[in-house]
Amino acid sequence: MARPPFTNDIRTLRFLAGEMTQGDLGDRVGVTRQTIAAIEQGKYSPSLEVAFRIARVFDKPLEAVFQWSDEEG
């Protein structure tokens, strides 16, 4: 499966948020732990709503969490 044309820093942001687990983030965003894992691995592109919810959990702007990759886009 081709990877999406953007990357994300969710793993790093979880680490900086006191090793927040994928399950905790999923609960706060309203998705399952597996979906957070799939987003982190680039196996699933979240909806705009979930992307914004993730950014809000970390109190960051959207582009601090998801970055467009010029190499692939």
Where on the chain is the footprint of other proteins (CB under 8 A)? Answer: 1, 4, 23, 30-35, 38, 41-47, 50
Closest CA to 25 of 50, 62, 7: 50
> Would you say 16 or 27 has its CB closer to other proteins?
27
Judged by beta carbon, residue 16 or residue 72, the one nearer other proteins is 72
- Closest of 47, 11, 6, 7 to residue 30, by C-alpha: 47
Tokens 């597996």, located at residue:
34
Residue whose entry in the numeric block shows the structure tokens 């965003």 = 29
Distance in Å, CB of 53 to other proteins, minimum: 11
Please identify, using beta-carbon distances, which residue of 27 and 63 lies nearer to other proteins.
27
